[in-house]
C-alpha cells in the first residue's frame, strides 16, 4: 500500500514563503493498492495536482471517498481533470453527511451561479454508493470507517492490505464528543496497531483554550491516540491556515520529545503536500 498526501492544510488553501515546507493545499490523500488500484480520499485543493498525475498515467478506474462535506475537503472537485474524460469510471462510497447524499454534495459544488458549469459537464461514468460504509473492498484494499467527532459529522477510514494498516482521522476532536461522534477509546480501538496513523493535529494547547468544541484536536491529544493505539508512525495533519512552517516544526519537535519521554518508538512527523509513505 502506498499513501501519498496531496494536501495537508486545514480550512482554506494558503500560499506564501512561510508555507513552503508543508504546503498550502487542503486535504487530499491517495491510497494505492499493491496492484495499483487508486482510492482518493477527499477533494480539497490538493486533488487538482493528483488529477493531473492520474491523467498522465492514464488511470481509468478511480474510487473516491469523502471524510465529510466541509468546503476545504470538497472544493477541488471541479478541478479534478479525470471527471471530464468519458473513458473514466469514478465510484463514490460514503455516508450521507448532515443528511445529504454524496451526489447532492457534488451537485452543490458544481452549481451556477457559484460555479459556471454543473454536473452535466462531467463526462466520466459516475457511480454513487450512498448506503453507509460498513466495509468495502477496492481490489485488495479492505476499508473500514468510523464516525468522526466533528460538527456535521463525517467518517474516518482504516485501510488494510497484506497485513498492513493505515488509519486516516482528520477533522476529529478527541477531547469533545460532537453529536453522533465516538469517544477516545473507540478511536484508539479503531486505530489499534496501525502501521501509519494520520490524525488531525491542528491546535496547540494554547490555541485550544479558545478553540475547544470547534471540531479539531491538539497535537498532544492526537499523540495520545497514537500512543494508545501503539501506532508505528504518526503524522500530524490539518495544519492551521495561520501556522507557518516554523511552528509546525516546533509541534513535531514537541511530539518527538513527549514520545521519547514516554519510551514510545512511534515516529512523529507532519504531513506535507508531497509526503509519500509505503507500507
Residues of the shown chain interacting with Zn ion in the complex, contacts defined by CB under 5 A: 10, 70, 72, 171
Nearest to 170, CA basis, from 19, 27, 1: 27
| Secondary structure letter of residue 191 according to DSSP | H
Nearest distance in Å: CB 198, Zn ion: 13
**CB nearer to Zn ion: pick between 33 and 45:** 45
Q: How far apart are CA 111 and CA 142, in angstroms?
A: 34
**CB nearer to Zn ion: pick between 32 and 68:** 68
Nearest distance in Å: CB 123, Zn ion: 29
**CB nearer to Zn ion: pick between 70 and 158:** 70
Give the burial string for 98-123 (b: 16+ CB within 10 Å, else e). Answer: eeeebeebbeebbeeeeeeeeeeebe
Nearest distance in Å: CB 72, Zn ion: 4
**23: left (phi > 0), else alpha (psi -120 to 50), else beta?**
left
**CB nearer to Zn ion: pick between 69 and 191:** 69
Nearest distance in Å: CB 217, Zn ion: 12
Nearest distance in Å: CB 148, Zn ion: 8
**CB nearer to Zn ion: pick between 70 and 178:** 70
Amino acid at each position: 500500500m502506498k499513501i501519498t498526501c496531496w494536501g495537508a492544510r486545514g480550512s482554506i488553501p494558503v500560499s506564501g514563503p512561510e508555507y513552503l515546507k508543508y504546503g498550502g493545499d487542503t486535504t487530499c490523500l491517495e491510497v494505492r493498492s499493491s496492484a495499483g488500484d487508486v482510492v482518493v480520499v477527499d477533494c480539497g485543493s490538493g486533488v487538482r495536482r493528483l488529477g493531473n498525475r492520474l491523467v498522465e498515467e492514464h488511470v481509468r478506474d478511480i474510487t473516491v471517498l469523502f471524510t465529510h462535506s466541509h468546503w476545504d475537503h470538497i472544493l477541488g472537485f471541479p478541478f479534478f481533470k479525470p471527471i471530464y474524460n468519458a473513458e473514466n469510471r469514478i465510484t463514490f462510497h460514503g455516508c450521507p453527511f448532515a443528511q445529504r447524499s454524496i451526489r447532492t454534495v457534488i451537485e452543490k459544488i458544481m452549481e451556477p451561479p457559484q460555479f459556471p458549469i454543473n454536473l452535466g459537464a462531467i463526462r466520466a461514468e459516475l457511480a454513487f454508493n450512498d448506503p453507509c460504509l460498513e466495509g468495502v473492498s477496492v481490489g485488495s484494499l479492505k476499508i473500514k470507517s468510523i464516525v468522526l467527532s466533528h460538527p456535521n459529522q463525517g467518517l474516518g477510514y482504516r485501510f488494510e492490505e497484506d497485513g498492513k494498516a493505515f488509519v486516516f482521522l482528520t477533522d476529529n476532536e478527541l477531547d469533545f464528543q460532537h453529536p453522533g461522534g465516538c469517544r477516545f477509546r473507540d478511536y484508539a480501538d479503531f486505530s489499534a496497531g496501525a502501521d501509519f496513523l494520520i490524525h488531525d493535529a491542528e491546535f496547540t494547547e494554547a490555541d485550544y483554550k479558545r478553540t475547544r468544541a470547534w471540531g479539531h484536536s491538539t497535537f498532544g491529544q492526537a499523540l495520545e491516540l497514537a500512543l494508545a493505539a501503539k501506532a508505528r508512525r504518526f503524522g500530524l495533519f490539518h495544519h492551521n491556515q495561520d501556522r507557518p512552517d516554523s511552528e509546525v516544526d516546533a509541534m513535531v519537535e514537541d511530539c518527538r520529545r513527549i514520545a521519547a519521554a514516554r519510551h514510545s518508538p512511534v515516529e512523529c512527523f507532519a504531513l506535507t503536500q508531497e509526503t509519500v509513505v509505503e507500507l
